[in-house]
Amino acid sequence: MEGVRKILGILGFLCLWITAQAQMKIPPETVQQWASVFSVQLRELTTKYSGSQLLQKKLKDVEPIIKMVDLNGNDLVKDYSDEIERLLGKKMKSVKRLAESAEDADLYHEFNATLQFDYYNSMLINSADEDGNSPDMGAEFPLEENEHFNNLRVNMLQSDIQVPTNVFNKDPNILNSIYNSEALNDVFIGNFQKDPTLTWQFFGSSTGFFRIFPGIKWTPDSNGVAAFDCRNRNWYIQAATSPKDIIIMVDISGSMKGLKMTIAKHTINTILDTLGENDFVNVIAYTDYIRYVEPCFKGTLVQADLDNREHFKQLVDELHVKGEAKINKAMKESFKILNEARMKGQGSMCNQAIMLITDGAMEDFEAVFEEFNWPERRVRVFTYLIGREMTFAQNTKWIACNNKGLITVTTHTSPRADVQENVMEYLHVLSRPMVINHDHDIIWTEAYMDSVLPNTMELFTTKAQSLLMMTSVAMPVFSKKKETLSHGILLGVVGTDIPLMEVMKLAPRYMLGPHGYAFLITNNGYILAHPDLDL
């Protein structure tokens, strides 16, 4: 500090002198002399207080063992890739152990319709009524701050259960599934002991509950509602189904006005939320003519990435009803798009489906299916019937049943949660071939901001702490019981989160130089990690 003060003093004196002599003519020799003096004093001060001489001495001491080596960029990338593979390989092994344990627990469990079982409900733990009594499923659950989990209060010896508000937490199916998943507790703990870099481990059940380790206290929103449903999460949907091509057909005829159209739009948005970047989609609105909601996507499929999904949602919100519904033209157009994509090797090259959203189908459309989909029935057709009028319900049911699909009905009195449940049914249908074949494909999600925990922003002391960029690795869990093997029953999905910060640490900056950096790109061409990535 003393040296800095001296330099500032010299500079201050020079400034005052120059100001005072501003109107005088100063000889160049004088200025040169000032500069020489200032240069000598500045060098003496920096030498004295920077420790440069000591640094030079230490460098000479180690100079005989220091070598200048040219770094090969390809070798650096290969080493980085190998390190990432080892890191992610550990995470995949942990997830596989969870899947095996969950399947074995289900295999040896007999369903008990009268099962009475108290579990740790993350919404109810550590709570009491006015008399100080703990509610059912609200027993004492020890929580302690843990630095590894961003100083959140967690239980490192026990997982607990989150159940969405729209799911009955004592339903026999829920209780039996939760009882089965108790076997995961020991695996959670064992995984963490084998790999202390693990963060959240979880099991999302097809019945709707979510088991998370370490256990936490789940806080509802301001209305007391737990809206989080694990079955809507990207990791669950990607693991539960194979990639798919989807055409959404929505009836915008005059009979769809009012609440029907509101329900239809919500249904479309919910379907779009079940898609990921491995899926392809388009949305067609129809009356007596065909209208692509996005004309630029006419006659094709587009990748269902986040930008395209949000773009479709905006356009769907602007739809208005008019005219008379003619389903045949729109159905032919949908089949042509899907068949062309399959023939050209485009799209997902996997599942294909048409989602028909209408309040009734009056036409004779058997000829359309004979021309485009029978007898192979490569394209499944799911029908979403909206409204109280069931006059044409038989027609829409026939469409679904004769094209390996499913029909769901949403009435005016159905809550939004029912729409979500109805849409989720198609995922179970599409997952059946994968379940029957026991294809345990491991999936990795795109980068996202961590929002698994409730009220994440309120749990952290700063905004920066809460914005943790993550990717998740997940794997489906199937029923292995012989009596249900042919039905293709999906029990749920297990997974774990991986902070991208941990992946980026594997590429040390000192190896890359002051202007170098590492980045990750997914197989779909999206940036997974980058120093300038801003979600």
Q: In a 10 Å sphere around its CB, with 0-12 CB exposed, 13-18 middle and 19+ buried, how is residue 220 labelled?
A: middle
Residues 220, 297: Cα–Cα separation, whole Å: 40
pLDDT per residue, tens digit, the chain (535 aa), is 555 555 555 555 555 555 555 555 677 787 788 788 888 888 888 887 888 788 888 878 887 887 777 888 888 889 888 998 899 899 999 999 999 999 999 999 999 999 988 899 999 898 877 777 777 888 889 999 999 888 889 999 999 999 998 888 889 999 999 999 999 999 999 999 999 999 999 999 999 999 999 999 988 877 878 888 898 888 998 888 889 999 999 999 999 999 999 999 999 999 999 998 889 999 999 999 999 999 999 999 999 998 999 999 999 999 999 988 889 999 999 999 999 999 999 999 989 999 999 998 777 788 999 999 999 999 999 999 997 666 667 888 899 999 999 888 877 666 666 788 888 889 888 887 777 676 778 888 877 776 544 444 443 333 333 446 788 999 999 998 887 766 778 899 999 998 887 888 887 777 777 788 888 887 777 777 777 766 5
Residues 427, 444: Cα–Cα separation, whole Å: 18
The predicted structure's pLDDT at residue 477? 93
DSSP class per residue in 165-197: TTS-TT-HHHHHHHHHHTTHHHHHHHHHHH-TT
Two structure tokens written together for 406: 């499913």
Residues 496, 200: Cα–Cα separation, whole Å: 6
Look at residues 141, 387, 91 and name the one whose alpha carbon lies nearest to residue 256. 387
Residues 112, 21: Cα–Cα separation, whole Å: 99
The predicted structure's pLDDT at residue 391? 64
Two structure tokens written together for 457: 């922003």
Q: Are 238 and 474 in contact (CB under 8 A)?
A: yes
Instruction: Evaluate the omega torsion of the peptide bond into residue 27 and state whether it is cis, within 30 degrees of 0.
Output: no
To the nearest 10 degrees (0 to 180), the angle between helices 306-317 and 259-273 is 180
Question: β-strand 407-410 against 448-449: which pairing, if any?
Answer: unpaired
C-alpha distances out from residue 197 to 91, 153, 188, 328, 478, Å: 9, 18, 13, 56, 27
Look at residues 168, 170, 149, 130 and name the one whose alpha carbon lies nearest to residue 217. 149
The predicted structure's pLDDT at residue 220? 82
Residue matched to tokens 């290969």: 78
Residues 3, 110: Cα–Cα separation, whole Å: 81
Question: β-strand 490-499 against 152-154: which pairing, if any?
Answer: unpaired
The predicted structure's pLDDT at residue 8? 55
Neighbours of 109 (CB within 10 A): 14
Q: In a 10 Å sphere around its CB, with 0-12 CB exposed, 13-18 middle and 19+ buried, how is residue 67 labelled?
A: exposed
Residues 469, 455: Cα–Cα separation, whole Å: 16
Residues 6+ apart with CB under 8 A from 316: 250, 265, 268, 269, 283, 293
Two structure tokens written together for 387: 């409204």
Two structure tokens written together for 94: 């942990």
Secondary structure letter of residue 205 according to DSSP = E
